[in-house]
């Protein structure tokens, strides 16, 4: 029972001697420091939201390039089939255009995923299978017109079909992984923003309480000094 009595006696002495003003100044200073800390935490939240926007934009760009690659390689297949069936050289122009678009999209996709090791590894596998696909269908058109039967047989070849199926599977896997990566990043960012916001609100409340106490102590101390 002696410790509480001593504490109460010390507080009463401060009240009687007018020393509360000396306590009020540090309390106000601490309140300002806490407010600045809260502002810094809110700044972190703003930065995190900017990162979230960048992740969404990057994922959108990646998905767009994946779709462009898919359109290019499928267009390559259709052009070769059309050329084999009709012997119309215009299909070769379509094939060149589709292949150019696929290559351009692959280059853009490589740049987009270069900073992510897992996606870069997936891209390396995808590039390998896309190159195999281009080699197969490029060889089919080099035989010239009048080889519809040979082209049809090559397209139905089990090994060639495996390359075509593998390419589609990898494109789908690439798309799925990118969406999952975006979802994980957004979930982690939302959790951090929520936690940081809660801490900032708590700090602001504490800062206002300290500020109010500091002002009250200073006013009381001034009254005692008078």
What pLDDT shows up at residue 64? 92
What pLDDT shows up at residue 82? 85
Determine how many CB atoms are found less than 10 A away from the CB of residue 5. 9
- In tens, the pLDDT along 2-59 reads 555 555 455 455 454 555 556 666 766 777 777 777 677 677 766 666 666 777 788 8
**Host domain of residue 6:** 2-225
CA–CA separation, 222 and 210 (whole Å):
18
Q: Please count the structural domains in the chain.
A: 1
What pLDDT shows up at residue 218? 66
DSSP state of 15: H
Using 50, 70 and 90 to split pLDDT, how confident is the model at 65? very high
């Amino acid at each position: 029972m002696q410790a509480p009595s001593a504490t109460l006696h010390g507080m009463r002495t401060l009240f009687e001697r007018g020393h509360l003003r000396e306590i009020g100044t540090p309390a106000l200073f601490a309140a300002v420091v806490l407010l600045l800390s809260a502002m810094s935490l809110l700044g972190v939240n703003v930065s995190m939201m900017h990162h979230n926007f960048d992740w969404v934009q990057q994922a959108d760009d990646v998905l767009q390039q994946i779709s462009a690659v898919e359109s290019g390689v499928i267009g390559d297949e259709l052009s070769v089939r059309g050329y084999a069936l009709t012997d119309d050289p215009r299909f070769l122009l379509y094939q060149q255009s589709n292949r150019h678009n696929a290559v351009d999209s692959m280059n853009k996709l490589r740049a987009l995923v270069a900073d992510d090791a897992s996606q870069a590894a997936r891209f390396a596998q995808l590039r390998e299978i896309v190159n195999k696909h281009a080699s197969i269908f490029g060889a089919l058109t080099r035989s010239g017109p009048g080889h519809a039967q040979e082209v049809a047989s090559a397209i139905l070849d089990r090994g060639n079909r495996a390359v075509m199926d593998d390419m589609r599977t990898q494109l789908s896997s690439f798309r799925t992984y990118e969406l999952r990566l975006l979802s994980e990043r957004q979930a982690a960012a939302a959790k951090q923003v929520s936690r940081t916001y809660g801490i900032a609100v708590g700090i602001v409340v504490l800062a206002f309480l300290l500020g109010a106490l500091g002002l009250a102590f200073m006013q009381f101390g001034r009254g005692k000094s008078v």
